[in-house]
Chain A
Amino acid sequence: MDFNSSETLLEHPAEGPRAEDELPQTAAAAVKVVIVGGFGVGKTTLVGSVSEIRPLTTEETMTQAGVGVDDIVGVERKTSTTVAMDFGRISLNDELVLYLFGTPGQQRFWFLWNGLFDGALGAVVLIDTRRLEVSFDVIGRLEERGVPFVVAVNTFPDAPVHGIEELRTALDLPAEVPIIDCDARLRTSSRDVLMALMRYLHSLAAA
């Protein structure tokens, strides 16, 4: 938490959403989708491009137990480390709100936000074909947890181009799991990723 010593809630009340970002009183329930991917793969970019609000950040403190596996050179004085998760929001109608959470691929971070995947409609695994190996663990964990997901390939200019089926083999994905190309910077492209997830979920519900 980046509190300056003078910046307490007493002296500077927490600033809420801008008036135009407020949800209507009719907002009755929310659903969530989790965007999972390695560092720098474009999770926040994807969330930001479809979100109706500027992406927000929630932070949790990881205490000593988790710190041991991090590189803590230079921060020896700290007994804890802060892990951030960015998220965005889409009002689907007057009553239903969709939240998108972008979470790091490492499973040890998932436990910082209790129940992050509980009740989530599904997940998007965002991958960068230059660093495919970081996706293996994520996909395995989601399968174990029974979280339905689609794979979205964020297209970076210098990334090697793989065919979809080549990727499917490399990631050992079942035939029914959708794989889509996207440009996370584009609202329409990010929206299409979410649509692909919803159509997939719809097909699962219909089965």
Chain B
Amino acid sequence: MSEADQDWEDQSPERLYVITGGRSGTSGKSASLDLVTLIVSKAGPRLGMQPEHAAIVRLCHSPLSVAELSAYTRLPVSVVTVLLGDLLADGRVVARAPVPPAQLPDRALIEAVIHGLQQL
């Protein structure tokens, strides 16, 4: 295989385009996913699932952030969020949203962080 061919398979945006079926993560369920949204799988991978979907489901047997999923699957966050949109719609995984600044009183949240850091 020529070097140029390998480049196409290994690094190109085209490969990523194929994985997501040409979709971008700007709509639907994936739009609300933050880098630190925690993802947990509810069931194992389904037979015949796209390998990238199956990999995510397997990784999430314990909670993992979207950023960690991107790192472990070596796929960009923008691709991971599209795949997660599919899995969320399919009920394969659940998302635990990051703390919305308005929900917890800011000071209580900051105090929890300070307390946690003091334990380091």
Query: Which of A's residues lie within 8 Å of B, judged by CB?
Result: 1-5, 8-10, 13-17, 22-25, 27-32, 50, 56-61, 63, 77-80, 82, 87, 89-93, 96-99, 101, 113-116, 118-119, 121, 187, 191, 194-195, 198-199, 201-202, 205-206
Contacts and interface: CB of A to CB of B under 8 A. Distances in A.
A29 B113 CA distance: 12
Contacts of A98: 113, 116-117
- Binding site of B, secondary structure by majority: helix, strand, loop or mixed? helix
A77 B71 CA distance: 26
Interface of B: 1, 4, 6-7, 9-13, 15-16, 25, 34-38, 40, 51-52, 54-55, 58-59, 62-65, 67-68, 70-78, 96-101, 106-107, 109-120
B59 A1 contact: no
A90 B117 contact: yes
A60 B1 contact: no
A112 to B, nearest CB: 8
Nearest to A16: B59
B38 A97 contact: yes
B2 to A, nearest CB: 11
A187 B120 CA distance: 9
Given A5-B1, A30-B36, A61 B120 contact: no
A3 B9 contact: yes
A198 B13 contact: no
B10 A2 contact: yes
Contacts of A63: 13
A1 B117 contact: no
